[in-house]
């Protein structure tokens, strides 16, 4: 089951995200940052256990970011991450966003979800404001991926 995150979920989200950060597979997130952005997050829950989390963060009027996507190691490969990404994309479409991107160490996963790899130079400079807090700044080694949203009303007219 996928649902929006709540305050009591934050410590588990923190643990999931930072587990993968310790493996050098994603960037660590501070507990305070997760509390501040809890409304961006989705939770995947199975039998009362949080098995994954991920967020859709609005970057600009037409652009969103999927970030902090983390799945418990024992649930990797079972569709949890894909389900969270799909929920983020649905929300992005409902908000009227035209494109969603992610910065990732797992570009193959995102490509399987319909994203395509892009040059980081194609992303607006505004998205880099958060990067100043990153320990890897300015030598970012993440890969940029992008997903173009095609709202249902536009798809119906294509053909």
Any bridge partners for residue 118, and if so which? 144
pLDDT, tens only, 104-144: 999 999 999 999 999 888 877 656 666 666 666 666 778 89
> Could you count the other beta carbons within 10 Å of the beta carbon of residue 77?
11
How many residues does the structure list for the chain? 159
Question: Reduced to 3 states, what is the DSSP secondary structure of residue 39?
Answer: helix
pLDDT for the residue 64 = 95
Any bridge partners for residue 15, and if so which? none
Q: What is the distance between the alpha carbons of residues 111 and 106, in angstroms, rounded to a whole number?
A: 9
For the chain, first and last CA: distance in Å? 34
Superfamily name and number for 2-157: Gcn5-related N-acetyltransferase (GNAT) (3.40.630.30)
pLDDT, tens only, 72-95: 999 999 999 999 999 999 999 999
pLDDT for the residue 130 = 64
pLDDT for the residue 150 = 77
The answer to whether the CB of 70 falls within 8 A of the CB of 26 is yes
Structure tokens at 81: 């991450």
The answer for residues whose C-beta is within 8 angstroms of residue 50's C-beta and 6 or more apart is 9, 12, 13, 16, 43, 44, 72
Strands 143-148 and 99-104: antiparallel
The domain segmentation of the chain, as residue ranges, is 2-157
């Amino acid at each position: 089951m996928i649902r929006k995150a709540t305050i009591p979920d934050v410590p588990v989200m923190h643990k999931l995200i930072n587990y993968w950060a310790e493996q050098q597979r994603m960037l660590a997130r501070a507990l305070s940052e997760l509390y501040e952005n809890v409304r961006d997050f989705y939770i995947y829950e199975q039998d009362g256990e949080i098995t994954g989390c991920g967020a859709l963060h609005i970057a600009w009027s037409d652009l969103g970011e999927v970030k902090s996507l983390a799945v418990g190691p024992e649930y990797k490969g079972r569709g949890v991450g894909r389900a969270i990404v799909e929920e983020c994309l649905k929300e992005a479409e409902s908000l009227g966003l035209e494109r969603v991107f992610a910065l990732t160490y797992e570009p193959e996963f995102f490509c399987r979800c319909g994203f395509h790899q892009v040059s980081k130079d194609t992303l607006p400079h505004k998205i880099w404001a958060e990067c100043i807090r990153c320990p890897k700044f300015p030598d970012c080694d993440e890969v940029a991926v992008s997903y173009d949203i095609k709202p249902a009303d536009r798809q119906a007219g294509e053909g």
